Amino acid sequence: MFVSFQKAKTTLVAVLLFLAVTLAFNVFGKDKSEQQLRVDFLNVGQGDSILLSKGHFQMLIDGGPSGKKVLAEIGKVMPYFDRKIEIVVVTHYDKDHLSGLIEVARNYEIGSIIESGNFSETELARTLREIQVNQSIEKIELYRGDTIRYQDALFTIINPDQKSPLLKASPSDNNDDSLVIHLNWWQSSFLFSADIDDKKEKELLRKNLPLKADVLKVAHHGSKYSTSEDFLKRVAPRVGVIQVGKNSYGHPASETLARLSDLGVRVARNDENGRITFTCQKSQKECKMIMER
């Protein structure tokens, strides 16, 4: 039980060195470049959660089914000293999209919440509304044709249509009214199609909307009722990301996987590949895909 002064000094130097290295990693290691766009399809189990980062700006689309999971994922991705998510998007009020956002709102500062004007009286929706009011978070309702511009990134709302008769009428089944967002940044493009089904896809195909994207978030966890062949042909993605975990619904459906494979779309799945990250540079035509496993 004898610790010499020399030993203590060595320990202190080792500790300081460790702290210096980790600080350097935290400050310089994690990307904070405004020149790069990063899109993380978070591994939250059976649900959707996507974090878009550009420098200190973050947009979180949905929060997945569990606060614990989404917080653990965000903690690994966001820089240590950044505790603000500028925009949170609630595509619709299903538990597997909304649940995790409650804990996100309790643990991170949120700039604004974007919704589609969909109305829900579930316990979760009420809780989120309470948090939003208590923390004075700005709430924005967006519809087809609306756009958000952050520096050189353009987000276009593809769905829902404000005139949709379903909107505010059927709170129980709001998949078709979920927010579909198209992102365009220099040569890169993404389509986040939430939980829409093939009927809605047909409607979107009829309208002249910007659907073409390099990366498609495959709708409704790869359900067989979504991601029709025509829709896929129009979007023409290079990669299709399926946000799926252990489930009893048979997601992703073999039919959907076959459609993707037939059109030569590379599939990345959260249940098999963990977190899926795309890093995009202004000068590069294709984003680099990194899979956790």
Partner 1 sequence: MAEIQKAINFSLMSFIAGLALASFAKISIAAYLFLCVLMLLASFLAFFRTKFAAVFFVLVFFLFGSITFEFAKQKSYRFVSIWRNHPLEFEGTVGLVEPAKDGFKRVVLKEKGMGRVVVFLGDTVDIKSGQILKVACKKLEVGKDEAGQNRLAREGIWATCYYPHFSVIKNEVGFSPRFLIDKAKGSFERSLSASFPQPVESLIAGILLGGSNRMTNELSDVFSRTGLTHIVAVSGYNVTLVANFCLIFFIVIGFNRGKSFWFSVVVIFLFIFMVGAPASAIRAGIMGAMVLWASKVGRMANSLRSLAICATAMLTENPFLLRYDLGFSLSFLSTAGIVLTYPLLKKTFSRGRGINIFTEVIFLTFSAGLLTYPLLLTVFGRLPLLAIPINVVVAPVIPVAMFGGLLTGLTGLVNASLAKVVAWPVYSLLQLLISVLEAVSKIPWVNLEISAFSPVYATMYYAVILFLIYWLKNNIDKVGVNSFWSNFPFIAKNNKRAKKNFLVNEIVN
The site for partner 1 (CB under 8 A) is made up of 1-3, 18-19, 22-23, 26, 65-69, 71-76, 78, 80-81, 83, 99, 102-103, 106-107, 123-124, 127
Q: How far is the CB of 129 from partner 1 (least distance, A)?
A: 12
Choice between 30 and 238, CB closer to partner 1: 30
Reduced to 3 states (helix: H, G, I; strand: E, B; else coil), residue 221 is helix
Complex with partner 1: residue 17 or 140, whichever CB lies closer: 17
Strand order across the beta sheet in which 266-269 lies: 147-150, 153-159, 180-185, 188-192, 215-217, 239-242, 266-269
CB of 65 to partner 1, least distance (A): 8
Find all residues with CB under 8 Å of 194, minimum gap 6, and list them.
48, 62, 91, 92, 97, 159, 175, 178, 179, 180, 217, 219, 220
Q: Closest distance between partner 1 and the C-beta of residue 30, in Å?
A: 11
- Residue 47 CB contacts under 8 Å (≥ 6 apart), including other chains: 62, 63, 64, 65, 66, 95, 96, 97, 99, 100, 221, 243, 245
State how far the Cα of 6 lies from the Cα of 10, in Å rounded to an integer.
Answer: 6
Q: What six digits make up the tokens of 284?
A: 């590069």
Distance of CA 70 to the CA centre of its chain: 10
- Taking the least distance from each CB to partner 1, the nearer of 74 and 241 is 74
Q: Which is nearer to partner 1, 74 or 191 (CB)?
A: 74
Least Cβ distance, residue 69 to partner 1 (angstroms): 5
Q: In the complex with partner 1, which residue's Cβ is closer, 96 or 161? A: 96
32 neighbors 279 (Cβ within 8 angstroms)? no
Minimum CB–partner distance for residue 203 and partner 1 (Å): 34
Q: How far is the CB of 163 from partner 1 (least distance, A)?
A: 33
Determine how β-strand 288-291 pairs with β-strand 276-281.
antiparallel
Q: Is 226 helix (H, G, I), strand (E, B) or coil?
A: coil
Q: Given the complex with partner 1, which of 85 and 211 has the nearer CB atom?
A: 85
Given a contact cutoff of 8 angstroms between Cβ atoms, the answer to whether 168 and 119 are in contact is yes
CB of 64 to partner 1, least distance (A): 11
Residue 124 or 236: which CB sits closer to partner 1? 124
